[in-house]
Amino acid sequence: MPDRYAVIGHPIAHSKSPLIHGLFAQATGQDMVYEAIDGGAGPGGFGRALAAFCAAGGRGMNVTLPFKLEALAAADEASQDARLAGAANALRFEGGRVLAQNFDGIGLVRDIEHNLGLPLAGKRVLLLGAGGATRGALLPLARAGAARIVIANRTATKAEALARELAPHMGACSVAGGGPEAAGAGQAFDLVLNATSASLGGEAPAVPAAAFAPGALAYDMVYGKGLTPFLQLAQAAGCARIADGVGMLVEQAAEAFAWWRGVRPDTREVLQRLTVPLV
């Protein structure tokens, strides 16, 4: 009988995870099935779905909105990345125990360095937003050797608090936070990451043209939306290198697959299938 895996979220019909993991399983010869589970909008839905899936012999789960916080809370053991991000996006079930990981930031770094060809060592990074996506990205960016990370958020105190909280874990990478003005202040960045939800609402985050250093990469974590307002803003500022988050989606999925199955799939075919032209 094939091993069972799933993605859980609400809503979930739009998820690309069943396609991605189905292609990974086919390419690596893994005997597994992968489904999408809607955890529902009401309280307790995630816990009931998790218990039922485990009882039916499920081996692992990807977790998407709005259940990443609940997934971490349900874990018996969690990685440092998951704990410091305050959220889990992958679960593994072993001997009645629930293990939690957060591969979002790891997938982001893999996409930037491997697929987009931008080594992060010594780079200056601007992160727009101070929510869960930023929390998940900070440690992997620091581990990749980023020299400095600035968090710019509409609520300056939230960005400042996040920078103070994670600074002790950032190694040699300096981190600072502030309001929208933190994106300017005479600084230019090699990588500008939009980790806000602005693009989903057809809006552009506040970032001045001067924030993009010559040759900078502008990266929107939203995927499948084409040329988002943020990427349009970056182009207007003279930024020639732009990307959306489809690579992050695929690479974090590959990390989860490897964690579950012990083999990391090649991501090139899946990236080709899912990439939407940025026009």
**Cβ(155)–Cβ(128) under 8 Å?**
no
- For residue 128 the two structure tokens come to 């727009």
Q: Please, is 9 exposed, middle or buried when counting C-beta atoms within 10 Å of its C-beta (0-12, 13-18, 19+)? A: buried
Q: Is 16 a catalytic residue?
A: no
Structure confidence at residue 201 (pLDDT): 78
> CB of 95 within 8 A of CB of 154?
no
* Residue for token pair 């001067």: 210
Per-residue pLDDT of the chain (279 residues; tens, 9 = 90+): 899 999 999 999 999 999 999 999 999 999 999 999 999 988 899 999 999 999 999 999 999 999 999 999 999 999 999 999 999 999 999 999 999 999 999 999 999 999 999 999 999 999 999 999 999 999 999 999 999 999 999 999 999 999 999 999 999 999 999 999 999 877 899 999 999 987 777 888 889 999 999 999 999 999 988 999 999 999 999 999 999 999 999 999 999 999 999 999 999 999 999 998 887
Residues 16, 68, 123, 225: which is the catalytic one?
A: 68
Q: String of b and e for 36-51 (b: at least 16 CB within 10 Å)? A: bbebeeeeebbeebbe
Please give the pLDDT value at position 84: 93
d(CA 204, CA 198): 6
Nearest to 194 by CA among 258, 256, 239, 160: 239
3-state helix, strand, coil in the chain (%, to 5): 40, 25, 35
Residue ranges of domains in the chain, CATH in brackets: 3-102 (3.40.50.10860), 105-246 (3.40.50.720)
pTM, two decimal places = 0.95
pLDDT at 95: 92
